Amino acid sequence: MKRTMKTLVVACGAVAAAFGVGAGTTPAQAQGKTITLCWAAWDPANALVELSKDFTAKSGIGMKFEFVPWTNYADRFLNELNSHGSLCDLIIGDSQWIGGAAENGQYVKLNDFFKKEGISMDDYMPATVVGYSEWPKNSPNYWALPAMGDAVGWTYRKDWFARPDVQKDFKAKYGRDIGVPKTLDELKDIAQFFQGRDIDGKKVYGASIYTERGSEGITMGVSNYLYDYGFKYDDPKKPYAMDGFVNSAGAVKGLEAYKELYKCCTPPGASNSYMSEGLDAFKSGQVALQMNFFAFFPGLYKDPNVGGDKIGFFVNPAGPAGQATQLGGQGISVVSYSKNQPEALQYIKWFSGGDVQKKWWALGGYSCAKSVLNDPSFPDSAPFAKEFLQSMGMVVDFWAEPSYAQLLQAEQKRVHDYVVADKGTAQEALDGLVKDWKAIFKEEGKKF
């Protein structure tokens, strides 16, 4: 009973923290200003609430948090920005929003502020600067401070891999030892091996992968295959020229391979899975492999049922054309409609501090600062730290154009139609995607 009460109190506290109730409510807040930070409702957000208490203690500025579940995150905050709302003083916005937010004047440009405060983008991992801060890409125009590094990675059931019966059967079937897959083909073999297998009297399945239709799920998943098979968004020498890059022979094979993995090796009913469905499948012991963002890995490692010695982590395996992974993560920006811009900038300055970045990583956030990531002790600081570092060195992001949402919707539809709904061929899906993307860019006035 006592334990139940304790759990209840902790749960209520967590819920209150997640909704910003009472978070950062200090005497200073009552006297001074309060700023609101908007982000997604997930594990790292709770770490940020904890971290931000130091900011309030130091500056006397209170912090309020507006966290929205991932499924509504883009809808909610893009609505807020587009309606010139002043709910958020600071926003940790998705990497793809940067083009639109910069061009539509929704984020404050931070170049002068960075210069004045001595904040250098050279102190951050290059991929995160390009992905989270710059618009136009690869130009020194900064609209955010890299805040939360993230990429797609994989988890596996280390304890299942270590079982003698599994090892014996796998070797007998594939002629090699079971281990962390180095290639996407190996990954499929492992997933296929576990699909429908009996583990301790329970039927388990191969892999949980992203297949969600409504927001961005299947695009974030399939990209990990497409990149490895040679897909490129456009001609590196001729921007927006997509023919033969988006729908190259390699890309078609990559899309086919993703569909094969979905058909052969996912649990029943996994036709609309994204982050939380993946976590559920893994935590409930349904799957041997799980595709998900690194942001969830600290929580998974702590999980009493599947964490600790039972879980292992690995980077997205290589394909025939190389090895890359989908970028996740976000930068922190000041909203141009905020009435508390000086305080919001003060928060960014504080957040960029070396000690704060170290604590951010220690609490479960993913720092993008070189001072943290290049520290010799970093790879051993967590069981997934080495893989995170490796992944951040090979990330590729989706379009970050102002029209990114339209581009994303087109890919969601084309890919879901092919992979889940069995409509047409992979070639037709990617040819259709090129057609859709061309129409969108044409409407945008792009020349290609």
Partner 1 sequence: MNELSASSRITYRAVMVRPGMARRIRGLSDKTLAWLFITPTIVLLLAINIFPLLWTIYLSFTNYRANRANVPTIWLGADWYQSILTDPDIWAAMQVTAHFVIWTVVIETVLGFGLAYLIDKKFRGHGMWTTIILLPMMLSPAVVGNFWTFLYQPQIGLFNYVVAFFTGRAASSFQMLGDVTLSPWAIVIVDAWMWTPYVMLICLAGLRSIPDYIYEAAEVDRASKWRQFWSITLPMALPFIMLAVLFRGIENFKMFDMVNLLTGGGPGSTTEVASITLKRAAFESWRTGYSSAFAIILFVTVFGLANIYVKALNKVKSR
> What string marks each residue from 85 to 114 as x (binds partner 1 by CB under 8 A) or -?
---------------x--xxx---------
Distance CA 99, CA 104 (A): 8
Distance CA 320, CA 70 (A): 32
CA atoms within 13 A on the CB side of 276: 7
- How does DSSP classify residue 369? B
Q: Is 212 in the site for partner 1 (CB under 8 A)?
A: yes
Answer for which of 271, 336, 390, 427 binds partner 1 (CB under 8 A) is: 271
Distance CA 341, CA 360 (A): 23
Q: Is 214 in the site for partner 1 (CB under 8 A)?
A: yes
Q: Is 221 in the site for partner 1 (CB under 8 A)?
A: no
Answer for which of 72, 82, 305, 374 binds partner 1 (CB under 8 A) is: 82
Residue 220 near residue 412, CB atoms below 8 Å: no
Q: Smallest distance, Å, CB 409 to partner 1?
A: 6
Q: Is 80 in the site for partner 1 (CB under 8 A)?
A: no
Q: Is 259 in the site for partner 1 (CB under 8 A)?
A: no
Q: Is 336 in the site for partner 1 (CB under 8 A)?
A: no
Answer for which of 28, 41, 78, 389 binds partner 1 (CB under 8 A) is: 78
Q: Is 280 in the site for partner 1 (CB under 8 A)?
A: no
Rg value, the chain, Cα: 22
Let me know how long the chain is.
448
At 381, list the tokens. Answer: 């600081």
**Residues 396-433: b if buried by 16+ CB within 10 A, e if exposed:** bbbbbbbbbbbbbebbbbbbbbbbbeeeeebeebbbbb
Stretch that binds partner 1, among 59-67, 355-363, 364-372, 417-425 (CB under 8 A): 417-425
Nearer to partner 1, 2 or 447 (CB): 447
Nearest to 287 by CA among 296, 277, 295: 277
Q: Is 75 in the site for partner 1 (CB under 8 A)?
A: yes
**How many residues of this chain bind partner 1 (CB under 8 A)?**
34
Q: Which residues bind partner 1 (CB under 8 A)?
A: 74-75, 78-79, 81-83, 100, 103-105, 212-214, 267-272, 286, 402-403, 405-406, 409, 413, 416-418, 420-423
